[in-house]
Chain A
C-alpha cells in the first residue's frame, strides 16, 4: 500500500474529475490532506475510486496518530543573544542558526556539536537560508548585507550581496541554487543572481518590511509577505505579480512558506493564526490556531509524520505519511498541527520566551530556537503506553490535547518532558 490512496483532490487529474467546475471543493478536514509531504504528485490515482474515497479516509483517520510525541533531543547553547532562525541543511547533516549577536553557528545535526561560528556581519542576523547543495549558507543581517558562507571553510564568499537599504529580513534560496530572493525592511524584494552577486530584479510591491519570502519547489514562483498584510505571488522569470493574497483582517504577515507540493502557501500572521492559502484561487483554506503570535515574526514549517516512529527505517516499505505544520509561539511553545484536520498534534514546551524559528529536518526532526539564545532539537518518540490514544493500546500519548474545533483555540496544558541535552 502506497501513499497514493490519501485524499481525493490530490493530483491535478483527479481534481479535475472530481470537481467539474475546476474549483476544488473544500469541505472540512479532507482537503488539507492533499498536502503531501514530498513530491508525490505523479502518483497513480487509479487506486482512488470515488467509492473508496470515504472509507480509506476514515480508515486513515483511524490509523493516523492523534498525538505525536516529540521529545527534546538536544539543546544547543552558544549564542550570546536571541536566536532568530534555525535551519536544517537540505542533506540533514547540519543545523545552522543565526542570532542577534551577529554570528551564525553551524551545528552537527546528529551530535549537536558546534562545527563553526561564522562571524563577519556587523549587526544581528535575522535570517539564513541553505543552498540546495548544503554547501553554502546565505545570511541576511541588519547591516543590510547578505553574506554567503562557505560551510567547509567557514569563510564568507568574497562578494556579499549589497543593495538593500535597510535590514535584511528574509531570505530564500532558489531550488537550483542560482538565485536568492531576499526581503528587507526597505520594503523591497530583491532577486539576486548568486554568481554575480548582483540584484537581478527588484520586486516592488510592499509598503512595509518584507517579513518572509520563499521559492516554490520548482523555483518558478516566489512568495513574499509583508507587515502590510499582503502575500504576493510572483513569477520568477517575469517578476510579475501573479496573485495577491490578503485576509480581511489585514493582519501583518510575518512568514510565508510554500507547501512541499507547491500548491499552498502557509502564512503566519500577527493575529495568532497560521493560514493555509490556496494561492491559485486566492482563498484561505485552513486556519491553524492555538498559539500566540502578536508581535514577533515567527517562522513556521511543514513536516510529515508517520503512524509509527522509526518503522520506516526498519521496513523498506514506505510508510503512509501525513503532513503537519509546526509554528512557534510567543509563550515559549511550538505547536504542531495536522494539516488537514487542524488538530493540534503536540505542543512543545520549547523555550523561555518567544520561539522565533522552527524547522523540520528531512527525517522529521524538529529544531526550534528562541529569544532565550538556545536551540532545541526535538526527536519523535513513540507515545508512552500509559496514556491511551484513541485506538491502540500500544500508543501512549504523553501530551494530551483535546480535539479542537475549528473555531475554538486551544489552550492545552502541556506536560513536556524537558531534557537539557
Chain B
C-alpha cells in the first residue's frame, strides 16, 4: 500500500517532463521526507533501502520508457495527465522566468545535491547516479546485487562517477527535440464513442518542444530603469542616497605619487620571445624609441653561457628630442606599443616589471626548461656515454690512436661533450699526415669529415677539441702535466702527436684548452709517480720544433677545492647574485650620486673647503710656532734648570750646547734677508734649510734689527712703544732668540716694510755703534710729549670761553684775535692789552700773558732758566685753579728757589684778595638777580649769612688744620673756592667762611632792598627743602637746581596768570620733543660737516653703500613678489574664477618700505623712514576712499568744520579724489615740503590708478618723508596756508 502510494507519488512527479525546477526542488524534499518516513516504517534498513532504490528506479524505468513507447500504464494515466497538464503550464512560465538567470538555478541545484536531496529529474538522460551519494550507493548495490537493472546506465555511472557528474543534463533540451507530447484527443473522454470504439481508439497526441521558435524572455522590468546597471539609478521614493548599484565598484589602484612608499612605478620592462642571438644593441635600439634606456640585461644561461632570449630593459628619466621622458612613462609605452610586435622575425612579449620579479620568473622558467631538456638529453645520451667512457677508461693504457669509434660515439658526442668522443674519433685517419701545419689542414677536414656528419660537424669537432672551459678547473685532484700554450701552440691537431710523443707514459687524457695542453694521469700513487717520471724525462723535450715547457702538478690542481654540494652551489650562486645585484645597484647609485654632485658642484663650496683646510693648517702652524715652541724653549732655558743641574751635579751649559739645539730649531733670526715668504707676509720658518748656528751672524743680524727699528722706518708711528733695547750679547740662549723672533713678528707691518726696503740699502754693513744709540730719541720723545699735551689742554680751555669782540676792536686787532695770546709776540700782546677793555676775557688773558712774560724775562735774567721750562711754568700758573692738582707732579720744581717762592707768596695774597673782590662782585650780581625776582632784605640776608657763618667758622677751624708749610712749586690759595658753586643758601654759606668774608658780603649787599621773609630760619629751611626736593641733594651744589630743558620764566609767574599768547614756531621748536629731535639731528649734522667735511663724504659713501644694499634687497624682494604673483595667477587659473576675489594680491603692499609716523616739525604728524630708502624706490601707497569731486568738496567743508586741521584729500584723476581722512593708510601723514625727498606718482596697477609715493632721493633712516603737495597757487588769497617745511628754498606758502 504504502509502496504503491510512494510509487504513484513519485511517478506522478517524475512523469512531468518540464517540471518546474524550483517547484520540483521544493517538492522533492517532502517526497524524500515521506520516503524516509516510510523507510523508517520498514522493519529492516536493508529492505528499506532496497525498496527505496526500487521505488526510485522504478519510475526511472518508466520514465525512460515513456518517451520511447507511447504505452503508459493506464492505471495512473489520469494522474499523469493531470500532472502533465499542470506541470507544463508551470514549466512554460517558470522556464521563461528563470531562463535568464539559469546560473542561479544551477547553484540551487548544486546546493540541493549537496544537501543530499534527490532531484527528481524527469529528464531522459539523467542517470540515477546523479542523485545523492547514499542513493547512488544504493543504486550501485542494487546493480551489483541483481542484474535486472544492469542494462541501465546506472551501471556505467557506478563505474565512473565523475564523468557521470560531468554529463549533467542541461535544463533546456536541445533544440528540435520534442520535449514531450500533448494529448489532443483522448478517446476515453470522448463521450460520443462507444465503449469499443473507445478501446480501439488511441490517444491522439502532439509533440511539443520541437518548435524552433524560442520565445524571447520577457524583458526584465528593472532594466527599464534608467541607469540600473550602471548604479546611477535612483528610485523615485528614495531620491537621496539610495543608489542601487549592480555593477561592482572597480577601485582604481592608488596612484603613485610622492607620498607613496615603497618602490615606485615600474621603470623596466621584461622582454621575452625574441631571437636569443639578437645583439644587445639591436634590442636597445628597439627599446630606446620609447625612452632612454638605462641598461639592457640579456640573461644568459649560467651553465652554457647561451642567451636565454629574456631581457630586462631598464629606462631612466632623460631628456630626448626636447622632451622630458619619464622612465615610468617610457616603460609603459614600451609595454603598450612594443608588446605583440616583432623584433626581427619573432613576436615579442613585453611586460612592465617593477621589481624584476617577472624577469626572474621567466629566467627561472627558462633555466628550468633548459635544465630539463639537458637532463632529458643527458638521460638520452647516458646510455651511449658511459659506454664511450668505459671504452676510453677501460681501454688499454696505450693511446688508442687508430681505434675508430663507432658512429654512435660520434653522434652521441656532439659539441656538448667534446672531450669525450671526438678526441679519439676523427683524428684517426688524419693523425699521421698532419703535422704542425694544422691550419691548412682545417678546410681539408671537410671532405675528409667523418661519414654522414654534416659539413659543419668536423669544424665544430675540431674546434671543440679545444675546450672552451678551462680544463684546470675540471681536473680536480688528478695529477697532470701542463704544457702552456707559450711553449706549444694550441692546436687540436697537436693532441695526437702529443699523445704519441708521450706514449711511453701511462697518461689518461690529453686535453687542450686555450691555456695549453693538459696531460692527466691516473689519480693514484702510481699516477703521481708516472707524472713525475714524465715530467723529469720530457720537460723541455722537443715536440716537433717546439720545446715542451712542462709544468708538473702531481697532486692535481693546486687551486682545486672540493666542489660543494649542488645546494650549496645554488645558495652560493644566489648569494653571489644578490651580491652582484647589490653591487650593481650601488654602482648605479654611485653613478647617480656622481652626476648629482657634478650638477650641484659649487665652486664656492670647493673654494671654501680649500680655504678651511688651508686656514686650519695655518692655525695649527701658528699654534706650533707661536705658542708651543716658546713654551718649549722657555722650559728649555738652561737658567731654569740651574737648580736641577746643581742637584744632579751637572755643570752649566756652555755656548756649544746651544749649537745643537739651534740645529734643531730654525729661527727667524737665522733667515737670510731674501728668505722666501709666505703669502701671508711672514716668514715661513719651515721653508728654510737647516744650517748650523753661527755666532758671528749675530752681529749682522743685530744690525739688521736695528735698522729695522728706527731710521729706515719712516712710517712707524712715533707713539708706538718699542721694546727696550736689549743689551747686546755675544751668545744667547736659544729660547731668547726665539722669543725675539716672535716679538719681531708682533709688530709685523713695520718689520715687513723694513725687510722690503732692506734690498735697497745694505743694512748688514751698518756699524754696530749706531744700533746702540737709538734708545735716546725715545726718551726725548717721551719727555717732549708732555708739554704738547699741556698746550693742547690750554687750547681747549681757550675754546671754551670764546669771546665776542666789538667791531672796533676787531678792526684794530684784526687777525690777532684769532690767535692764542701765548702765540702772540710781546708787542702784539701789548697792543691787545691796550686796545681791549679790562672786562674782556681775551684782554685779560693777554694781560696775564704779558705780565708773565715780563716776569719771566726778569727771572731769566736772574737765573738763566731755559725758555721752555718757563713756558711750562707759565702754563701751569695760568690754569692753576683747574689743573693744580693734576699737573704739579709733572712740573719740574727743582729750579725754583726761595726767592721765587716768596714772590709767589706775595702774588698769592694779592690774587686772593682779587678773588675776594671778584667774589664780592659776583655776590652783588647774584644778589641783584635775586632781588629782581624777590626783593631780599639786605639785613636779613646778612643776618642769615652771619648766623650761618658763625657756625661755619667753627667748622672751618676744625677743617683747616692741614700741615702748614711753604709750597715750593707754585702759589696756592689758603682757601679753595669753588667758583662753580651755586649761590643759593647753601652756596652762600659755603662761600662766606669767616667774619671778614661776611663783612665784605654785607658791604657788597648794602644797597639791596630788604625782603620780608618772616622767619629767617624757616625761610632758609624751606629754601633748602625746595632745593632738596628738586635736585635730590643737600648742601652746596655745583649746578643750578633749576628746571631742566627749555624754560622761559613767565613774567607773571605762571602760565595761567600770563594769559594766552601766540606761540611762534621757532619757539615751539625749542621745546616740542619731536621738533627738538629733528633740530638736534640737523645741528649735529651741521656741526659734523663743519668739523671735518671728510666725514660727510664718508657718510655719503656709507649711505650710498646702504642704499646699494637696500636696493639689492628690494630687488630680491621684488623678484620674490613677482614669483608669488605668478604662483597666485597660476592658482587662479586652476581654481574657480571667484577665488580671484578672495586672493586679490596687492603688489604695492609688498614693495612698501618700513615707515612710521610721528609728530612732525613741519605740521602735525609726519611720516618717517625706518630704513634706508634708495632713490626711485617705491615707499608707500596713498590709500583712501575714492570719492568724486563733489563729495570731496562737501567733505572738505565738513572736515574743516570738525577741526581736522590737515587735508588728507588727494586728487588722483579729474573726478577721482582719494580721501584718507577717515579711512586711509598712513601715507596721508606725509607732509609737504618745498624741497621734498619724495614724489607722488599716479600709476596703473592692474588697470586701476593708484597713488604711489616714490623716493626722489636717497632717504636715510628716521628722515621725514615729504613731497610737494603742488597746491595751486593763490597769490593774494587771504586763505593761504603757510609752509613750515624749513627748507632753504621754501616758498613760504603751500598755495
Which of A's residues lie within 8 Å of B, judged by CB?
Answer: 81-85, 98-102, 119-127, 141-145, 156, 165-169, 185-187, 204, 207-209, 211, 227-230, 244-246, 248, 250, 252, 254, 270, 282, 295-297, 354, 356, 371
By a CB distance below 8 angstroms, the chain A residues around B2 are: none
Contacts of A228 in B (CB 8 A): 1205
Q: Please name 12 further chain A to chain B contacts, defined as beta carbons within 8 Å, in addition to the given A204-B1159, A371-B1057, sorted by A numbering.
A: A82-B1053, A100-B1054, A119-B1026, A122-B1030, A123-B1054, A125-B1054, A127-B1056, A156-B1029, A187-B1072, A246-B1201, A296-B1056, A297-B1059
A179 to chain B, nearest CB (A): 22
From B1029, B1045, B1055, contact of A169 by CB (8 A)? B1055
Cross-chain contact of B1026 among A99, A120, A211, A245 (Cβ < 8 A): A120
Q: Which residues does chain A contribute within 8 Å of B1055, judged by CB atoms?
A: 84, 124, 126, 142, 167-169, 185, 209, 297
CA distance A156 to B1025 in the complex (A): 11
Pair A165/B1072 contact, Cβ less than 8 Å: yes
CB of A124 within 8 A of CB of B1053, answer: yes
Residue B1277 at the chain A interface, CB threshold 8 Å? no
By a CB distance below 8 angstroms, the chain B residues around A248 are 1201
Q: B residues 1033-1054 with Cβ under 8 Å of A?
A: 1041-1047, 1049-1050, 1052-1054
Q: Do B1060 and A124 touch (CB < 8 A)?
A: no
Across the interface, do A252 and B1060 meet the contact criterion of CB distance under 8 Å? yes
Q: Are A122 and B1042 in contact (CB under 8 A)?
A: yes
Q: Which residue of A lies closest to B1030 (CB)?
A: A122
| B1203 touches which of A98, A101, A245 (Cβ 8 Å) | A245
Question: How far is the CB of B842 from the nearest CB of chain A, in Å?
Answer: 35
Q: A165-B1072, A185-B1071 are in contact. Are A124 and B1052 (CB under 8 A)?
A: yes
Report which of B1041, B1068, B1159 forms a contact with A122, defined as CB distance below 8 A: B1041
* Closest A residue to B1200 using CB positions: A246
7 contacts between A and B (CB under 8 A): A120-B1030, A124-B1054, A126-B1057, A144-B1043, A165-B1045, A165-B1046, A295-B1060
**With A100-B1057, A127-B1056, A244-B1204 in contact, is A186–B1071 under 8 Å at CB?**
yes
Please indicate the chain A residues that have their CB under 8 angstroms from the CB of B1044 in the complex: 144
Q: Closest A-chain residue to B1202, C-beta based?
A: A244
Q: Is B977 an interface residue when CB atoms closer than 8 A count as contact?
A: no
How long is the Cα–Cα vector from A190 to B1043 in the complex, in angstroms? 19
Nearest residue (CB) in B for A144 is B1043
Chain A residues, CB < 8 A from B1071? 165-166, 185-186
- Selected contact of B1053 from candidates A99, A185, A186, CB within 8 Å: A99
How far is A384 from B1044 in the complex, measured between Cα atoms in Å? 55
**Is there a chain A Cβ closer than 8 Å to B892's Cβ?**
no
The list of the 3 closest CB pairs from A to B, nearest first, reads A100-B1053, A124-B1054, A246-B1203
Distance, CA A121 to CA B1053, complexed state (A): 12
A127 contacts across to B, CB distance below 8 A: 1056
Interface pair B1054/A99, CB less than 8 Å apart: yes
List the interface of chain B (C-beta within 8 A of A).
Answer: 1022, 1025-1026, 1029-1030, 1041-1047, 1049-1050, 1052-1057, 1059-1060, 1063, 1068, 1071-1073, 1076, 1159, 1164, 1201-1205
Of A187, A229, A282, which is in contact with the most chain B CB atoms at under 10 Å from its CB? A187
Q: Whole-angstrom distance from the CB of B1028 to the nearest CB of chain A? A: 9
Q: In the complex, which residues of chain A have a beta carbon less than 8 angstroms from the beta carbon of B1073? A: 165, 186
State A244–B1044 Cα separation when bound (angstroms).
33
Give the docked Cα–Cα distance between A81 and B1054 (Å): 9
Which residues of chain A are near B1063, meaning CB under 8 Å?
A: 185, 208-209
Beyond A84-B1054, A119-B1026, A169-B1055, whether A254 also contacts B1060 by CB under 8 A is yes
> With the chains together, A196 CA to B76 CA distance in Å?
125
* B residues less than 8 Å from A244 (CB atoms): 1202-1204
Contact in complex: A356, B1056 (CB < 8 Å): yes
In the complex formed, the residue of A with least CB distance to B1042 is: A122
Is there an interface contact between A143 and B1047, defined as CB atoms closer than 8 Å? yes
Q: Which residues on B sit within 8 Å (CB–CB) of A84?
A: 1054-1057
The minimal Cβ–Cβ distance linking B386 to chain A, given in whole angstroms, is 113
B1196 to chain A, nearest CB (A): 14
Given A100-B1057, A122-B1026: A82 touches B1202 (CB 8 Å cut-off) = no
Among the interface residues B1046, B1059, B1076, which one has the most CB atoms of the partner chain A within 10 A? B1059
Q: Are A100 and B1059 in contact (CB under 8 A)?
A: no
- For A99, the chain B residues whose CB sits under 8 A away are 1053-1054, 1057
Tell whether A282 pairs with B1072 under 8 Å between CB atoms, given A84-B1057, A209-B1063, A295-B1059.
no
Measured CB to CB, the nearest residue on chain A to B1022 is A119
Q: How far is the CA of A250 from the CA of B1164 in the complex (A)?
A: 17
CA distance A144 to B1073 in the complex (A): 13
The residue of chain B having its C-beta at the shortest distance from the C-beta of A143 within the complex is B1043
Partner of A124, one of B1026, B1046, B1050, B1164: B1050
Kindly report which residue of chain B lies nearest to residue A371, judged by CB atoms.
B1057
Contacts of A120 in B (CB 8 A): 1025-1026, 1029-1030
Say yes or no: A356 contacts B1057, CB within 8 Å. yes
- The residues of A that contact B1022 with a CB separation of less than 8 Å are 119
Q: Which residues of B contact A186 (CB under 8 A)?
A: 1071-1073
- Alpha-carbon distance A144/B1164, docked complex (angstroms): 22
Closest approach, in angstroms, between the C-beta of A171 and any C-beta of chain B?
11
Complex: A389 Cα to B166 Cα, angstroms: 138
Chain A residues with Cβ below 8 Å from B1164 are 207
In chain B, what residue has the closest Cβ to A228?
Answer: B1205
| 8 Å CB contact of B1052 from A81, A102, A141, A169 | A81
Once the chains are docked, how many angstroms separate the CA of A124 from the CA of B934? 14
Q: Considering residues A81, A165, A295, which has the most beta carbons from chain B within 10 angstroms of its beta carbon?
A: A165
Report Cα–Cα, A211/B1059, bound state, in Å: 10
B1201 touching A124, Cβ below 8 Å: no
Q: Report chain B residues within 8 Å CB of A295.
A: 1059-1060
Are A123 and B1056 interface neighbours, CB within 8 A?
A: no
> Which B residue sits closest to A246, measured CB to CB?
B1203
Bound form: Cα–Cα A124–B1050 in Å: 8
Contacting pair A81 B1053 (CB below 8 A): yes
> Cβ of B1203: which chain A residues have Cβ within 8 Å of it?
229-230, 244-246, 250
- Knowing A144-B1047, A244-B1203 touch, does A119 contact B1054 (C-beta < 8 A)? no
Rounded to whole angstroms, the CA-CA distance of A354 and B1068 in the bound complex is 27
Query: Which A-chain residue is minimally distant from B934 (CB atoms)?
Result: A80
| A residues less than 8 Å from B1159 (CB atoms) | 204
Q: Which chain A residues lie closer than 8 Å to B1052 at the CB level?
A: 81-82, 100, 124, 371
Which residue of the partner chain, among B1042, B1046, B1202, contacts A166 with CB atoms under 8 Å?
Answer: B1046
Q: Please name all residues of chain B whose beta carbon is closer than 8 Å to the beta carbon of A187 when the two chains form the complex.
A: 1068, 1072
Which residue among A167, A211, A356 has the maximum number of chain B CB atoms within 10 Å of its CB?
Answer: A167
Residues of A within 8 A of B1042 (CB): 122
Bound form: Cα–Cα A80–B255 in Å:
97
A354 CB → nearest B CB, Å: 8
Could you tell me the distance between the alpha carbons of A142 and B1042 in the complex, rounded to whole angstroms? 11
Taking a contact as CB atoms closer than 8 A, the residue among B1054, B1060, B1204, B1205 that contacts A142 in the complex is B1054
Q: How far is the CB of A273 from chain B (nearest CB, A)?
A: 15
C-alpha spacing A373/B1029, complex, angstroms? 26
User: A316: shortest Cβ distance to chain B, in Å?
Assistant: 41
**In the complex, what's the smallest C-beta–C-beta distance from A82 to chain B, in angstroms?**
4
Q: Which B residues are in CB contact (< 8 Å) with A354?
A: 1059
Question: A100 to B1202, alpha carbons, bound, how many Å?
Answer: 35
User: Closest CB of chain B to A129's CB: distance in Å?
Assistant: 13
A282 to B1230, CA, bound (A): 28
In the assembled complex, the CB of B1281 is this many whole angstroms from the nearest CB of chain A, namely: 14
Shortest CB distance B506–A (Å): 122
- By a CB distance below 8 angstroms, the chain A residues around B1043 are 122-123, 142-144
Closest to B1165 in A: A204
Nearest chain A CB to B660 CB, angstrom units: 78
- CB <8 Å contact, B1053 and A296: no
Q: How far is the CA of A83 from the CA of B1022 in the complex (A)?
A: 21
Q: What chain B residues lie within 8 Å of A83 (beta carbons)? A: 1057
- Measured CA separation A267–B1055 after assembly (Å): 19
Contact call B1025/A101, Cβ cutoff below 8 A: no
Given contacts A84-B1057, A125-B1054, A254-B1060, contact A282 B1202 (CB under 8 A): yes
